[in-house]
């Protein structure tokens, strides 16, 4: 039995092979803008690519993990769907997206890098660029009024 792999749109922009049963959330197709990536998507769909959506419970689990890891502010809805599908199907995630990789690793999901080296698991904090005060999310500092940015914990 082949392993299951959930992939984001990055896979369809490359010409790399993946050995496994491929699964993608339906939102991935909407991210494909050029003809080559759309043709590649259709080629894989004809040969068994599964296009589906995650259940709400899995999406909530991903959001909890992404909040805990500090990645929630940079994950797209499609990224969340990719991780949620992998979580509920027991699949690996094939991506070069760092925040998606990090969230998946925090959830114990195997990550297959496509063109980049494998990302290391990190935890993020949010810190004011002016006064250095820490916050739970990005925005504007209530003390000095400067930007709050994401930093490695």
CATH number, residue 107: 3.40.50.1010
Region 75-101: mean pLDDT is 96
In a domain, 104, yes or no: yes
Region 43-58: mean pLDDT is 95
Alpha-carbon gap, residue 63 to 84, rounded angstroms = 9
- Is the domain of 62 the same as that of 127? no
Per residue, the 3-state secondary structure of 38-88, as one string, reads HHHHHHHHHCCCEEECCCHHHHHHHHHHHHHHCCCCCCCHHHHHHHHHHHH
- Is the domain of 133 the same as that of 95? no
Total domain count, the chain: 2
Q: How confident is the model at residue 125 (pLDDT cuts 50, 70, 90)?
A: confident
Sheet holding 147-152, edge to edge: 134-135, 124-128, 147-152, 139-140
Q: Which domain does 58 fall in, by range?
A: 4-112
pLDDT for 2-50, tens place per residue?
899 999 999 999 888 888 999 999 999 999 999 999 999 999 999 999 9
Does 66 have pLDDT greater than 80?
yes
């Amino acid at each position: 039995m082949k392993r299951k792999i959930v992939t984001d749109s990055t896979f369809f922009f490359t010409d790399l092979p993946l050995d496994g049963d491929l699964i993608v959330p339906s939102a991935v197709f909407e991210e494909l803008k050029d003809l080559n990536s759309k043709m590649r998507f259709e080629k894989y769909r004809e040969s068994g690519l599964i296009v589906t959506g995650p259940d709400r419970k899995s999406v909530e689990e991903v959001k909890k993990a992404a909040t805990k890891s500090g990645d929630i502010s940079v994950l797209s809805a499609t990224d969340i769907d990719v991780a949620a599908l992998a979580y509920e199907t027991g699949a690996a995630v094939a991506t070069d997206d760092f925040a998606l990789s990090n969230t998946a690793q925090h959830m114990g999901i195997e990550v297959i890098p496509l063109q980049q080296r494998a990302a290391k698991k990190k935890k993020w904090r949010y810190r004011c660029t002016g006064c250095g005060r820490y916050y739970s999310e990005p925005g504007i500092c209530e003390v000095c009024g400067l930007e709050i940015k994401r930093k490695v914990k």
